[in-house]
Amino acid sequence: EVQLVESGGGLVQPGGSLRLSCAASGFTLSHYWMHWVRQVPGKGLVWVSRITNDGSSTTYADSVKGRFTISRDTAKNTLYLQMNSLRAEDTAVYYCGRGGVTAALDYWGQGTLVTVSS
């Protein structure tokens, strides 16, 4: 059974850093593109970042470019999102998702809440 479990969210001050993890089971990360998507509670979905199956290419939304870094550890079958220079507008639930056929995210984690506030 495919499962994605995020962790690492919490309260952080503006300017601070946080690393989110997404532990994958039931499949091998190195066979799929993986994504991070965020959602302010009560608002819509916003795509954040993507890493290709071989890890050779990463892409970011303009709003996080230069501050966030997506990576993975194939030995641990875990996806990461390193978030630096956090701002209040980064406050959201962060989901990891597996990229399936034709760019669809076919499995999603349950989300982890990041709150940026002093």
Partner 1 sequence: EIVLTQSPGTLSLSPGERATLSCRASQSISNNYLVWYQQKPGQAPRLLIYGASTRATGIPDRFSGSGSGTDFTLTIGRLEPEDFAVYYCQQYTTSFTFGPGTKVDIK
Tell me whether residue 75 or residue 101 sits nearer to partner 1 (CB atom).
101
Closest CB to partner 1 among 65 and 76? 65
Binding site for partner 1 (CB under 8 A): 35, 37, 44-47, 50, 59, 61-62, 95, 100-111
Q: How far is the CB of 26 from partner 1 (least distance, A)?
A: 14
Helix ranges (H only) for 24-115 are none
Closest among 36, 13, 19, 15 to 93, alpha carbons compared: 36
Q: Which is nearer to partner 1, 74 or 110 (CB)?
A: 110
Instruction: For residue 40, give the amino acid letter.
Output: V
Cα–Cα distance measured from residue 33 to residue 53, given in angstroms and rounded to the nearest whole number: 5
Q: How far is the CB of 69 from partner 1 (least distance, A)?
A: 17
d(CA 77, CA 86): 26
Shortest Å distance, C-beta 37 to partner 1:
8
Compute the chain's Rg from CA coordinates. 13
